Each structure stands twice: as structure tokens, then as C-alpha cells.
Amino acid sequence: MPIVSTEQIIKVDISKDATSKRDVETEATANKKKYHRDPSAWDKPVPVTKAYRNQDFLNSSHARHLRILAEYEETMQRLRWSNVRATIQFFGSARAKDKEQYDAAMSKAQHELEGTEPGSDAHVDATERIAKLKQTEWMVDYMANIQELARMITQWSVSTRRSSQVLTGVDRTKSALKKSFERDLSELSAEDTSSRFEGRAVLKVSLEPSSPKASPQSPRTSPTTHRRFQYLPHPTDDDHPEARAAKAADLFVCTGGGPGFMEAANRGASMVTGGRSIGMGISLPFETGLNPFVTPELAFEYHYFFTRKFCMAYYMQALVAAPGGFGTMDELFELMTLKQTGKMNREMPIVLFGKKYWQTIVNWQALAEFGVISQKEVDDLLFTDSVDEAFHFITTRLNEMQKLAEDGRASPPP
């Protein structure tokens, strides 16, 4: 057996180490080709957060427009996915309670009152809560009525399967835009317009013939460009391919998602087999989450009141306003203004449920007599305490709106 010296053993080990090192270097070189730089070159790379994951930025004033767009676009996409294209809005006080809730709250307050010493802060608080409960006791019966009305409308919607093509609460202002373009184009000839934009790369433009009665205006002095651009339809537009799919659209009950009359309406819709309802809540310090009767995939919460109201109004076909305070008044009068100005269908039914309440807190007739609204706008409101009367009024008016839509007239002229 040949004798191997210690020096030879060391050389062999060194040779193996060198080979292993070369293999590692070769592998590292191959990996480097996968990157524009060597990620292993830094022991402690600086951590980075992408802009759309940066909560500090997204919650800052600089990203306010992004939050507004997110609230709008996410709502519209989810509504479209759920095939929501027609809603009936229910407004009303969040302080209202049904019989069971009222009795439980009163029993609790009275029990606490009995366990407190007269004159103490706890005794005063319990006394005030009992007084407030007694003030709202009259709303108990209305809670049951609103629940029943929502149930009847949902049942009617599911059984009749209202067509998504004929329910049209919101006027997309196509007629108004058409008149505006016709007026603008009457001031400028098609020839002048085409020469003005010669050589520019623009989207597809359609120019309507100028009116022979109008005298052409110089392109430089004309206040508008008179171009009519055409874009692909948005998923919320009636021209979108999904809007023409063979799907029947229900008339969804929609509320602010809170307690009180909103909860009653969502509960009523949930009592119908296959019935779904929408809750559009607002983040408030004294309310957390939505009532449990809102359909989960149709539950929304907003930071901005105006985006919430816009989304509420977008697909609205009818409005039921139960007794309520500042929030109910704010939403009611804004939607009545949209109806008055033609931004929403002028034939849209509005029910003021709670006849004595609504005729007491607002002098509707005085508004007409002072000339700030028309008598027709007062007469068009339904003041009622009857579920059957409200249901008949809403369904009859919706059928009339359907007939107008089928005749090609979404709303009669003002």
C-alpha cells in the first residue's frame, strides 16, 4: 500500500474545496443573470412599501380623491356583479324600535332606575332614558308597517321579475346632452369645426348638421370645442354588453344599513325566499357595522356622505321615507330636488309614511303657496299610514314608468 504524505492529503482537501467553491460561484453567476442586480450584494436592504399598500399615504389628504373613487367604483362593480339595477330606497330614524326591542329597552331602563339612589347620576341617566323611550313609543307600530311594506315589495319583485331594461329611475341626461350639442353645433358649421381640429389625433367624433337658422360663429370665439367623443360603455351603462344579458332584475330594497326603520326594511326583505337587500352604511362613532338583515355581498360602508348618497340614488326607482330626523331630511330633500330638476325620473314615486308626522313637521302646502315649489310637486307626494295604499301607489307608478320606457319616453316633459 503506497504511503500518502500529510502534504498530499492537504492538497487533495484544498482541491476539493476549490472545486466546491467554483461550483458555488458558477451557480451564483447563473442566478445573477435572473436579476438586473445581485440581491445578495446587500446584507440589510432597505424595506420598501408600495404606494397602493401605504396606509399612511392612502389615509392622508393627498389620497382623498383615490378614496372617493374607490368608494364609487367598488360599489358600482359589486352592484353590477350582483345584477342590481333597480332599487327602492327606505329612509327613516335609526332610533325607532319594534315592540320587542322597545319592551326590552324599557325593562332594562326601569330595572336600572330601581337599583339606583334618587338624586344620583345613575338615577338621572335612567330617568332620562325612560323619558326618551316614551317619546319614541309611537314609532313602534310604524316599524311593523315598514317591515311589511318591504316584504310585500320584495315579494312582488321576485314574483314579477321586473325587467332591467325598463326600470329607469335615473335620467342619464342623454336628452339634455343632445339638446346641448345641438345648441352648440348650431353656432359653428361642420366645415369650420373640421378645419379647426385638422391634424389633431382625437377619438372618434360625430358632428351633427348645423342648424340653418343659426349664423356660424368663429372657432376662436366659440366657447366650446363642439366635439362629440365616443367611448366604450362603462359596466354601469345601459349600453354595456352585460346590461343586455338575458337576466331579469329584481327591485332591491336598499337602506342606510343602520338600526331602526332601516333594519325593519332589511328584515322585511329577508323574509321573502330569494329576497336580497342592500345596506349602504356610513362610518359613525356611535354605530358599528350594519344590521344583520342586510345581504352580506350587498353590504357597504362609506366614509363620505356624498358618495353614499350618490350610490343610493343611482339605481333608485322609488322612495319610502319613514319618520326621521336630520339625516332623513337631508337625504329626502336632496332626492326630491333631483326629481324636481329632472336628474331623476319625474314620475318616480315618493311615499312619506307617517301621515301626521310628515304633515306636521313640514308645511308642504305653504311651500307651494309661497311659490317656491309647484302645487303638482306637493300633490305628487303620497302621505299615508297604510301599507296597502303605499304598495299600490309604488307598484302602479312603476308600471306607468315601465310603459313610458317601452314607449321611448323615460320621463314626460316638465
Read off the pLDDT of each residue in 99-125 and give the average, rounded to a whole number: 89
What does the alpha-carbon distance between residue 107 and residue 95 come to, in Å, rounded to a whole number? Answer: 17
Model confidence pLDDT, tens digit, residues 158-172: 888 654 444 544 544
Beta bridge partners of 316: 87
What does the alpha-carbon distance between residue 269 and residue 273 come to, in Å, rounded to a whole number? Answer: 9
Lowest mean pLDDT among 117-121, 361-365, 396-400: 117-121
Q: Which of 279, 284, 281, 309 is nearest to 297 (CA)?
A: 279
How high is the pLDDT of residue 201? 40
- Residue 121 banded pLDDT, cuts 50, 70, 90: confident
Model confidence pLDDT, tens digit, residues 170-204: 544 444 445 545 555 554 444 444 444 444 443 44
DSSP state of 52: G
Please state the length of the chain.
414
Separation of CA 289 from chain center: 16
What does the alpha-carbon distance between residue 253 and residue 88 come to, in Å, rounded to a whole number? Answer: 5
Q: 156 is written with which cell numbers?
A: 312582488
How high is the pLDDT of residue 286? 76
What does the alpha-carbon distance between residue 249 and residue 57 come to, in Å, rounded to a whole number? Answer: 39
- Helix (H) / strand (E) element for 88: namely strand 87-91
Model confidence pLDDT, tens digit, residues 209-238: 444 444 444 444 545 555 566 667 766 666
Q: Indicate yes or no: pTM above 0.85.
A: no
Q: Which domains does the chain have, with CATH numbers?
A: 74-97+136-171+237-406 (3.40.50.450), 99-134 (no CATH), 173-233 (no CATH)
How many C-beta neighbours within 10 Å does residue 230 have? 9
283 backbone dihedrals φ, ψ, rounded to 5°:
-75, 115
How high is the pLDDT of residue 172? 44
- Helix (H) / strand (E) element for 90: namely strand 87-91
How high is the pLDDT of residue 225? 53
Model confidence pLDDT, tens digit, residues 6-46: 555 445 555 556 566 666 566 656 555 555 666 667 778 88
In 250-388, the DSSP E strands lie at 252-255, 277-282, 299-302, 316-321, 350-353, 381-384
What does the alpha-carbon distance between residue 110 and residue 275 come to, in Å, rounded to a whole number? Answer: 38
